[in-house]
Amino acid sequence: MRLRASFLSLVSIRSYGKRAPAVQRHSAALALGIFALVWMGGMAGAGERTIKIVAVGDSLSAGYQLPAQDAFPIQLEKALKEKGLAVEVANAGVSGDTSTGGLARLDWSVPDGTDAVILELGANDMLRAIDPKVTREALTEIVRRLKARNIEVLLCGMLAPRNLGTDYTKAFDSIYPDLASQNGLLLYPFFLDGIATDAKLNQRDGMHPTTAGVAKIVQGILPKVEELMARVRAKTPS
């Protein structure tokens, strides 16, 4: 309303004699129009660009045996948008992929213009009892390449089953916190947290989440993804 009053003060209504009421109405309308343009411009300036995230993973990200719209990246994008966040989450999950496989396809899986990556690999390494040193080296190189491209990373941890022995589980489980600490990455300690042993949230194979299981994963990881987006925005020039 200050804008309207200031604009009207520039017009000497009295100087228009009998036309003063009409001039006043016209001036008021013009002032309100200017106010609307200023307000809309402010709103447009407050808008934020869409952050582009790629989920690089295995079947847990790809959405094994699930409708496409129920896969982790799709459910995650929907949850973020429901919170009013401008984001796109691309699905770069490949069923059966190991960390070495993810490294081999990294360059074409993560296109130019990507702001952040959710890195979810290692489950198949563990299931195949691949030497944890191999897994560590592959994940380390993936992180190195992404950081070189100025891409933020949220690392999703995985835990080895205890029946693989103490030495193996210790070596495998430590990969993720070590890598996150050494590279300043955000870490979600266990991607399957809250669903790994719940039959109601897993498919018949006991390893892959149902639609409800994926929703549980999204619920748990959401705060970390919001933090990931905040990191992207913090380094984006205004």
Other beta carbons within 10 angstroms of residue 184's beta carbon come to 10
Task: Reply yes or no on whether 208 is catalytic.
Answer: yes
Residues in Cβ contact with 58 at an 8 Å cutoff, skipping those fewer than 6 apart? 93, 94, 95, 96, 97, 98, 102, 120, 121, 123, 124
CA angle 130, 131, 134 (to 5 degrees): 100
- φ, ψ at 230 (rounded to 5°): -65, -35
- Annotation says 59 is catalytic: yes
**Which residue is catalytic, options 9, 167, 205, 238?**
205
165 half-sphere exposure, CB direction, 13 A CA radius? 6
> Concatenated DSSP letters for 169-205?
HHHHHTHHHHHHHHHT-EEES-TTTTTTT-GGGB-TT
Query: How many Cβ atoms sit within 10 Å of the Cβ of residue 14?
Result: 7
3-state secondary structure of 90: strand
3-state secondary structure of 95: coil
Q: Is 205 designated active site?
A: yes
Residue from 58, 59, 115, 173 carrying the catalytic annotation? 59
Beta bridge partners of 55: 91, 118
| Dist. CA 152–CA 32, nearest whole Å | 44
Active site residues: 59, 205, 208
